[in-house]
């Protein structure tokens, strides 16, 4: 791919377009061994060697990170006052990363961070019905019909009922931990007493959807964690706030099979 030098440097995290223009003017950049001062020069991203102050720059057109979102951080690309999920990705090269979908401030768990708009659209498009699975700790006794209600769709005050959701209840803490081998979950379980533990799979992403679904059933979600989005599953080795690049297998499954 051929792009301008200033775009190449800005995309690679060396500053805004005007900042990198100054950097180029200062003589800090070399292209295939020769200093360049023209920031409009076209770069072949695969074959040219760019050095910034003698250090090689690698170009990534796209980046894909799995983040274990901690509670207390907002799902936004940038914010004037608050730390966002993008601020947690310290090793990012691209400046145009965004979160795919939204988790509430108090929700933990899997969040995909990328700058790939096509993939994001594909995963979030309502017509694709990509499944998202969560664990919810719930207070207030759920009715026996809750499973049917979730399957048939719930009136949460929108124009249409929610799309069918799969719900299952874990009878005991050890049942949950057998399936979700997640150290964080053990801590969370010890923080909450007398909660009902549900696994819920939805295919939409309405605002506060799960909380509103339980609320419509007279219950309250006191803790929510996302474990999967399509074929992508939260890596239990990541502590809240940690992230890693997606593996090639994870990425190709997300792109091909959803
Ligand atoms: N549903 C919610 O209510 N909150 C989330 O963060 C995600 C799904």
For the cut 80, the answer to whether the pLDDT of residue 257 exceeds it is no
Instruction: Kindly report, residue by residue over 107-164, the tens digit of the pLDDT.
Output: 999 999 999 999 999 999 988 889 999 999 999 999 999 999 999 999 999 999 999 9
Q: Is 235 a catalytic residue?
A: no
Nearest CA to ligand 1 atom 3: 208
For the chain, the average pLDDT equals 94
Report the atom number in ligand 1 closest to the C-alpha of 102. Answer: 6
Greater model confidence, 143 or 256: 143
Stretch 1-23: mean pLDDT: 91
Q: What pLDDT, in 10s, does the model give residues 198-218?
A: 999 999 999 999 999 999 999
Query: Which pLDDT value is given to residue 83?
Result: 96
Per the listing, tokens 């708009």 go with: 117
Tell how far CA 171 is from the center of its chain: 30
User: What count of other Cβ atoms lies within 10 Å of the Cβ of residue 160?
Assistant: 10
pLDDT, one tens digit per residue, over 73-110 is: 999 999 999 999 999 999 898 889 999 999 999 999 99
Tell me the C-alpha to C-alpha distance, in Å, between residue 160 and each of 127, 132, 157, 206, 214. 15, 20, 8, 11, 16
Is residue 9 in contact with ligand 1, taking CB distance under 6 Å?
Answer: no
206 Cα–ligand 1 center, Å: 8
Q: Is 229 in the pocket of ligand 1 (CB under 6 A)?
A: no
Q: Are 140 and 222 in contact (CB under 8 A)?
A: no
Residue to probe by mutation, ligand 1, list 210, 216, 223, most atoms within 8 Å of CB = 210
Distance 222 CA to ligand 1 centre (A): 11
Catalytic residue among 11, 104, 116, 248: 104
């Amino acid at each position: 791919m051929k792009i301008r030098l200033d775009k190449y440097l800005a995309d690679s995290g060396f500053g805004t377009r005007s900042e990198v223009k100054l950097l180029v003017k200062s003589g800090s950049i070399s292209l295939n061994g020769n200093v360049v001062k023209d920031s409009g020069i076209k770069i072949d991203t695969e074959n040219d060697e760019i050095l910034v102050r003698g250090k090689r720059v690698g170009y990534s057109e796209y980046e894909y990170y799995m983040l274990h979102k901690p509670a207390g951080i907002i799902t936004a690309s940038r914010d004037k006052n608050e730390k966002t999920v993008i601020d947690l990705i310290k090793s990012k090269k691209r400046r145009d990363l965004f979160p795919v979908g939204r988790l509430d401030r108090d929700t933990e768990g899997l969040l995909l961070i990328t700058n790939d708009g096509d993939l994001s659209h594909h995963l979030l498009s309502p017509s694709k019905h990509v499944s998202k699975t969560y664990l919810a700790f719930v207070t207030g006794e759920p009715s026996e019909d809750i499973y049917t209600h979730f399957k048939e769709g719930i009136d949460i005050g929108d124009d249409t009922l929610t799309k069918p959701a799969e719900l299952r209840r874990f009878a005991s803490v050890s049942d949950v931990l057998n399936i979700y081998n997640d150290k964080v979950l053990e801590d969370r379980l010890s923080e909450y007493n007398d909660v009902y533990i549900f696994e819920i799979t939805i295919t939409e992403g309405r605002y506060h959807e799960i909380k509103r679904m339980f609320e419509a059933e007279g219950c309250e979600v006191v803790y929510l964690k996302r474990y999967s989005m399509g074929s992508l599953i939260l890596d239990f080795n990541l502590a809240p706030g940690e992230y890693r690049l997606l593996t090639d297998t994870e990425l190709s499954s997300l792109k091909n099979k959803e």
